[in-house]
Homo-oligomer: A and B are copies of this chain.
Amino acid sequence: MSEESVEANVVVHVCTTCRAEGEALEPRELRSGARLYQALKQSRSAEDPVVVAVECLSVCRRPCTISFSAEGSWTYVYGDFPADADPGAILDAARLYARSPQGLIPWKQRPEALKKGVVARVPPLRSSTEFAS
């Protein structure tokens, strides 16, 4: 598999409904989540993981929320990102996820924001079904 395809396999979902505490409901495009999404879209290059807006990741209490997922990898959900979180650092983390077997970034390599911000993780379907048999 080429390096490009490893990273293209990863999707970074960004909840565009997330609001910081006290933030106005409208206009929706100024919500923290929507702004973080725009920053990520603008920062990514063609070889980077795909960045996709989602209406709601159902976390709500820990804005802004994002997730990393890829075929055959653990899905990770992370919260507590401010709207002005460094998009480059998030994309670096997504590339690290893309290159880690099953998306499991070794603890020592894991950026601080991912250590503290983890909301949940779910194993890949394929390995879990094997595990069940």
Residue numbers of A with Cβ under 8 A of B are 11, 13, 50-54, 56-59, 65, 67, 69-71, 75-77, 118-123, 125, 128-129, 131-132
Contacting pair A119 B119 (CB below 8 A): yes
- Complex CA–CA separation, A51 to B50 (angstroms): 31
Contacting pair B52 A128 (CB below 8 A): yes
A73 → B minimal CB distance (Å): 10
- Complex CA–CA separation, A119 to B58 (angstroms): 7
Which residues on B sit within 8 Å (CB–CB) of A77?
A: 77, 120, 122
- Complex CA–CA separation, A28 to B127 (angstroms): 23
- Complex CA–CA separation, A58 to B54 (angstroms): 22
Q: Select from chain B the residue with minimum beta-carbon distance to A120.
A: B77
A84 → B minimal CB distance (Å): 23
Which residues on B sit within 8 Å (CB–CB) of A51?
A: 132
A58 → B minimal CB distance (Å): 4
Counting from the closest, the 4 A-B pairs by CB-CB distance are A77-B120, A58-B121, A52-B132, A52-B128
Partner of A121, one of B50, B57, B129, B131: B57
**Which of A52, A59, A69: most chain B CB closer than 10 A?**
A52
Known contacts A50-B128, A59-B120, A69-B125; can you find 4 more A-B pairs with CB under 8 A? Answer: A52-B131, A58-B119, A77-B77, A119-B120
